[in-house]
Amino acid sequence: MNDLLELASDFPLLSRTVRGGKPLVYLDTGATSQKPESVLNAERTFNQTHNAAVHRGAHQIAEEATEAFEAARSAVAEFVGVSFGEIVWTKNATEALNLVAHGFLNATLERGGSEASRFRLTSGDEIVVTELEHHANLVPWQELAAKTGAKLRWIPVTEDGRLDLEQLDVITERTRVVAFTHASNVTGAITDVPRIVERAREVGAFTVLDACQSAAHLPVDLHELGVDFAAFSGHKMLGPTGVGALYGRQELLEALPPFLTGGSMVEVVTMEETTFMPPPQRFEAGTQMVAQTVGLHAAVDYLSAVGMRQLSAHEDHLARLMLEGVAGVPGVRVLGPTSAEDRLAVVAFDVPGVHPHDVGQILDDQGIAVRVGHHCAQPAHRAFGVHASTRASAGVYTTPAEIEAFIDGLHRVVKFFA
């Protein structure tokens, strides 16, 4: 019981009501998290006091802005267990994953010089993804495959919504990239990362981890996990919208050709040609989301103060309550593991005969906010034989009472459409 955190009062939005005075039960953290007051304050203070162009001005405010911006990089790097220079700011995880895929594309188009040759793809090469991926970690690889002639293959999903690691032999000597999720935003299943990394290393393939769902809910040490690249988003981990990050192993970032080009990532520019800065600047073209990185800094400070182990134990408890509760609603099928082991408090389910839109609507009417649809993972839904589902997902601020309200609400849904 001392697993349980009581933090909701730190989050201003959570005290609001919806649909005519009903207390809000926010179970859509898997889509985007709410932000603690400390994050909102950090952004505001930056904007009111230190806002200026970074890495540019010689004036005091520009120096302060630069220091705040780089301090944020340092804090986020430490939070995920990597070095300062291995964190590249992006607008979201999607951009981070596109950055890596375009690095391969640009190398294949012979940009980036000889050190980029290790990223060149040919039609004999293969890219491996998984059937559980969010579209953000699938479509960029489809595009890369289409443009380079490389072939896309994938690790299938098991009946209980995990990656089928019996089928790791889809990773072969032809595989150049293995892109996979740390935790599914549909099934909540946590991936056995070391096993996939081991297999990828055997064949010399690069690994790209989608850490969007894990970074906010589990202790994540990317160096320890041994992946080559990883992506995550600020808005899912108590931070602002508009900021995300790419992790890349130092040596790889140094060899990867740039993606977006423009100001602040160049060394010498003539009309004819341009030389580029070392990473991470090489990948940060134009004015960055400075205030948002400062907000994300406050977010990881908040998470660290709570403690990621404590947080993950709290959510583990909530996952158990959710799974038990949903199992008690007649007919409802969970898409994903039905036990809480190696699983996030993200529960997607199907109510036979009732469309998720209708499930969500009746819950919303009771003040319960869940997500409905395919959650940007159509192939995963197809694997379960459904087109859409309803998903409840918890966060650091979620309470057992809210899970209870949700389960009650779900019973009412079934009754309404009976």
CB of 127 to its own copies, least distance (A): 12
Out of ligand PLP, other proteins, its own copies, none, what residue 368 binds, judged by CB under 5 to 8 A for its kind, is its own copies
Out of its own copies, other proteins, ligand PLP, none, what residue 24 binds, judged by CB under 5 to 8 A for its kind, is its own copies
Q: Pick from 18, 31, 40, 62 the residue near other proteins by CB under 8 A.
A: 62
User: With binding defined as CB under 8 A, does residue 387 bind other proteins?
Assistant: yes
Q: Which stretch binds other proteins (CB under 8 A): 33-41, 124-132, 265-273, 317-325?
A: 265-273
Q: What is the DSSP string of 357-380?
A: HHHHHHHHHTTEE-EEE-TT-HHH
Footprint of ligand PLP on 100-129 (CB under 6 A) = none
How many Å apart are CA 372 and CA 358, to the nearest integer?
A: 9
The helix, strand and coil proportions of the chain, stated in percent and rounded to the nearest 5, come to: 45, 20, 40
Residue 240 or 367 with smaller CB distance to ligand PLP = 240
Footprint of ligand PLP on 172-231 (CB under 6 A) = 181, 185, 210, 212-213
Triad 11, 317, 325: Cα angle to 5°: 100
Residue positions annotated with a catalytic role: 376
How many Å apart are CA 298 and CA 221, to the nearest integer?
A: 19
Q: What is the DSSP string of 210-273?
A: E-TTTTTTS---HHHHT-SEEEEEGGGTTS-TT-EEEEE-HHHHHHSPPSS-STTSEEEE-SS-
How many Å apart are CA 55 and CA 76, to the nearest integer?
A: 19
- Rounded alpha-carbon distances, angstroms, from residue 195 to 129, 181, 182, 191: 15, 13, 12, 9
User: With binding defined as CB under 8 A, does residue 55 bind other proteins?
Assistant: yes
Interface mask toward its own copies for 171-210; x: CB under 8 A: ----------------------------------------
Q: Which stretch binds ligand PLP (CB under 6 A): 87-95, 154-162, 301-309, 334-342?
A: 87-95
Out of its own copies, ligand PLP, other proteins, none, what residue 44 binds, judged by CB under 5 to 8 A for its kind, is its own copies
User: With binding defined as CB under 6 A, does residue 136 bind ligand PLP?
Assistant: yes
Q: Give burial (CB, 10 Å; 0-12/13-18/19+) of 24.
A: middle
> What per-residue string of b and e applies to 396-414 under the rule 16 or more CB within 10 Å gives b?
bbbbbebbebbbebbebbb
Footprint of other proteins on 389-418 (CB under 8 A) = 416-417
Q: Pick from 268, 271, 305, 401 the residue near other proteins by CB under 8 A.
A: 268
C-alpha 238 chain-centroid distance: 12
Out of its own copies, other proteins, ligand PLP, none, what residue 416 binds, judged by CB under 5 to 8 A for its kind, is other proteins
Q: Pick from 63, 78, 160, 164 the residue near other proteins by CB under 8 A.
A: 63
How many Å apart are CA 96 and CA 116, to the nearest integer?
A: 18
Footprint of ligand PLP on 261-290 (CB under 6 A) = 263, 286-287
How many Å apart are CA 295 and CA 290, to the nearest integer?
A: 9
Q: What is the DSSP string of 4-24?
A: ----GGG-GGGG-EETTTEEP
Contact 393, 371 (CB under 8 A): yes
Alpha-helical regions (H) of 46-192? 60-79, 93-108, 139-148
CB of 414 to other proteins, least distance (A): 14
Out of other proteins, its own copies, ligand PLP, none, what residue 355 binds, judged by CB under 5 to 8 A for its kind, is other proteins
Footprint of ligand PLP on 376-395 (CB under 6 A) = 376
Q: Pick from 143, 160, 164, 301 the residue near its own copies by CB under 8 A.
A: 143
Report the residue count for the chain.
418
Residue 317 or 374 with smaller CB distance to its own copies = 374
Number of residues that bind its own copies (CB under 8 A): 96
How many Å apart are CA 359 and CA 348, to the nearest integer?
A: 12
End-to-end Cα separation, the chain, in angstroms: 36
Q: List contacts with ligand PLP (CB under 6 A).
A: 92-94, 134, 136-137, 181, 185, 210, 212-213, 233, 244, 263, 286-287, 376
Q: List contacts with other proteins (CB under 8 A).
A: 55-58, 62-63, 66-67, 264, 266-268, 277, 281, 355-358, 361-362, 365, 372-374, 378, 381, 387-388, 416-417
